[in-house]
Amino acid sequence: MTPAPVPPDTVHTALLDAVIGVAEDTAALLRDRPDTGRPIPGAQWTVGEAAAHLALANELMAALAEGERRSYGDGTPDGLAAANAASLAAYPERDAAVLAEQIVRHARAFAEACADRPASTPVLTPLGPMDLATLASYLLTHMLGHGYDLAVALRRPHMVDRHRVALTLPFLMTAMPRVVDGRTAAGHTACYDLRVRGGARFTVTFRDGVAEVSTGPAARADCTILTEPVTFLLLALGRCNPFAVLARGKVLAWGRRPWLALGFPLLFTAP
């Protein structure tokens, strides 16, 4: 797999600014002390549980950026889900204002830790090894996913935009081969040319159920998929229905096997 490009020396300022900005936007949803027992549509968590998970995850990511080694699950989506459940059970805080402060404080601690270390610094994360710049992209992606959930549950505008989506791509390209769903991808062989409207273009090649990601266009794609940026991230994180967005024209597909676009999101388990 060709790694996504990262800044050569330190984690890019725009990425760290986005981490802090999304933390602040998420905290703003919580500072008015909404009902934390409200369920999140389409999920098993409540608002309070999602906010607590963000606080815990931001603290974990800040510790990893500092150079600490911590185990968290087994590197698989199922292992992550089990670790998330265990950490929430051990952490009873559900006060929205308290959690808002923690989400921001740990995001700032993460940014401060990154500022003093090379972007290429290797770290061991809940989804396996990656460099520090990709970890920052991971944290941003994670906050955007759960921040979006909170906004939907609280009926407030979400914080996902084109600029922030572009900064999630280094992590998403790294994570894709690690979160392939072995059941839906079993035996699958095809080449996908993925294009984010106005932005990145990369290739995902499946060979007998194993995915490889590389930058740039495919030499001979079976299916080309063009996606609007916000829709791309929401699909990648399992936050929207692929059939619905195709019907609304937010995803276009063509090539020798264009029908493969319908099943592409289902080849992965959202991290």
Give CA–CA dist 28/151, Å, rounded. 10
| Structure tokens that stand for 7 in this block | 């800044």
Q: Are 198 and 236 in contact (CB under 8 A)?
A: no
Residue 83's closest CA among 49, 122, 119, 126? 126
Q: Are 117 and 132 in contact (CB under 8 A)?
A: yes
Q: Reduced to 3 states, what is the DSSP secondary structure of residue 67? A: coil
- Which tops the pLDDT comparison, 6 or 69? 69
Quick one: pLDDT band at residue 10, thresholds 50, 70, 90? low
- Which CATH number applies to 180-267? 3.30.1050.10
Percent of the chain with pLDDT strictly greater than 90: 81
Residue 239 CB burial class (10 angstroms; 0-12, 13-18, ≥19) = buried
Instruction: Decide whether 13-164 matches 180-267 in CATH topology.
Output: no
- Which CATH number applies to 13-164? 1.20.120.450
**pLDDT higher than 70, residue 35:** yes
Give CA–CA dist 197/213, Å, rounded. 18
Residue 24 CB burial class (10 angstroms; 0-12, 13-18, ≥19) = middle
Q: Measure the CA dihedral 48/154/38/46, to 10°.
A: -40
Tell the residue number behind the tokens 């991808």, with chain if given.
185
Quick one: pLDDT band at residue 250, thresholds 50, 70, 90? confident
Report the largest interatomic distance among the alpha carbons of the chain, rounded to a whole angstrom.
53
**pLDDT higher than 60, residue 9:** no
Q: What is the pLDDT of residues 143-199, one digit of tens each?
A: 999 999 999 999 999 999 999 999 999 999 999 999 999 999 999 999 999 999 988
Q: What is the pLDDT of residues 181-192, one digit of tens each?
A: 999 999 999 999
Q: Are 149 and 22 in contact (CB under 8 A)?
A: no
Q: Are 18 and 163 in contact (CB under 8 A)?
A: yes
Please state the domain extents for the chain.
Answer: 13-164, 180-267
